[in-house]
Amino acid sequence: MVRMIREVIGLDRVVFIPAAVSPFKRGTIATAEQRLTMLQIALAEEAADWAEVSDFELRRPAPSYSWETACHFIQAFPQEKWSWILGADQWEQIDAWAEPEILRKSLRFLVAGRNHQEILNRRDWHYESISFDHPASSSAIRSDFPAHRDWMTPGVASYCEEQGLYHAADS
């Protein structure tokens, strides 16, 4: 999805930032370090030299707040125009995020809708909707690893099996 968005929008680079602990989740199956490793494996296998992984949120006290992360990167790289890639499901609940006004004023949002899903119109927000044909959510992929294995790189699938993540060892 990110490769397609990068090409459609013309992004120079993409920074993946795994959250340590989302304030909206009660726990995750994979640890923050495992999610960081999976991103590193996937980007190496995809030869995505235009992408990098930041451990910024993993080094901070939990929970992770997107507005703090956005402010950090904007201050660290003020010459850049920052965009935030997210799915339509998160876009619909962005008002519930901490400090949505800071996000609204600071970022352009690239909103990926699944299978031509209509994207919620938000007045006074700088956003672009991008249609992405993908039949499953990340939750569905995690809940049925064997059925969605082809959505991962071989190295990430192997890593999940080795680590016993998402019932991958059962596949």
> What's residue 144's pLDDT?
79
* Residue 94 scores a pLDDT above 80: yes
> Domain segments of the chain: what residues?
2-134
Q: What is the pLDDT of residues 137-147, one digit of tens each?
A: 677 777 777 88
> What's residue 46's pLDDT?
93
- Residue in this structure with the two tokens 């991008």, named with its chain if needed: 130
Q: What is the pLDDT of residues 39-80, one digit of tens each?
A: 999 999 999 999 999 999 999 987 889 999 999 999 999 999
Please, what is the angle between helix 154-163 and helix 32-45, to 10°?
150
Give the torsion through C-alpha atoms of 43, 44, 48, 51, to 10 deg: 60
Under the banding of pLDDT at 50, 70 and 90, the label for residue 132 is confident
Query: Do 106 and 74 form a contact (C-beta atoms < 8 A)?
Result: yes
**Closest C-alpha among 67, 107, 71, 109 to residue 92:** 109
Query: Do 34 and 164 form a contact (C-beta atoms < 8 A)?
Result: no
Burial class (CB in 10 A: 0-12, 13-18, 19+), 111: buried
* Residue 171 scores a pLDDT above 60: no
> What's residue 23's pLDDT?
58
> What's residue 168's pLDDT?
60
* Residue 114 scores a pLDDT above 60: yes
Q: What is the mean pLDDT of the chain?
A: 87
Query: Do 130 and 8 form a contact (C-beta atoms < 8 A)?
Result: yes
* Residue 170 scores a pLDDT above 90: no
SS3 state at 129? strand
**Closest C-alpha among 5, 2, 6 to residue 17:** 2
Of the ranges 55-69, 92-106, 157-171, which one carries the lowest mean pLDDT score? Answer: 157-171
DSSP 95: G
Architecture of domain 2-134: 3-Layer(aba) Sandwich (3.40)
> What's residue 44's pLDDT?
96
> What's residue 72's pLDDT?
96
Sign of CA dihedral 32, 36, 39, 45: negative
